Amino acid sequence: MERESDQIIKAMDDDDEEEEEDEEFVLLDLGNVYVQRDIPANAPYMLSGLDTLNPMLVIGDNLKMVGEYEETIGTCFVFSESESGPVVHEEKGPSEANLFMGKCIIDSKQASSKKVKPVACLHKVLKFRVVQEDDIKPATDKN
């Protein structure tokens, strides 16, 4: 027979499983912004309002952008890229003439390669545009 405290703990565990949210990935498209402005590589930024129709992105102190979601056609896959180590060949096989048996040889003539691995798939793109002064209306202005 289960104790009441055990039943409460099980009920709490069931609630925790239901509260887990699915992760959703969104691609931030700054293509139009790069044409208009120079964005430093490591500039601080603040992204807010992802759960609204028009999220805001502020880069540095003076670049403010507003975004708009667009559905993708099909599924977009996101990959990460990293340097792959050099190709190493291990010499195997018995031979009286094989002086390198059990040794590893690095092929210096081999071109460097990259390792690509999938990160996520997504169904939305968040396109940003620069906010112009005309777009900002004071909250006290009631016409």
Model pLDDT for residues 91-111, shown as the tens digit of each residue: 555 655 555 555 555 566 666
**Mean per-residue pLDDT, 109-130:** 83
* Three-state DSSP class for residue 4: helix
Residue 12: pLDDT above 60?
A: no
Distances (CA, A) of 104 to 85, 88, 92, 111, 131: 14, 6, 10, 18, 58
Closest listed residue to residue 42, CA positions, set 66, 59, 58, 64: 59
**Rounded to the nearest 10 degrees, how much is the dihedral formed by the CA atoms of 55, 24, 59, 48?**
40
Token pair listed for 137: 């209306």
Residue 135: pLDDT above 90?
A: no
Nearby residues of 58 by Cβ (< 8 Å), 6 or more positions away: 45, 46, 64, 65
Nearby residues of 29 by Cβ (< 8 Å), 6 or more positions away: 125, 126, 127, 128
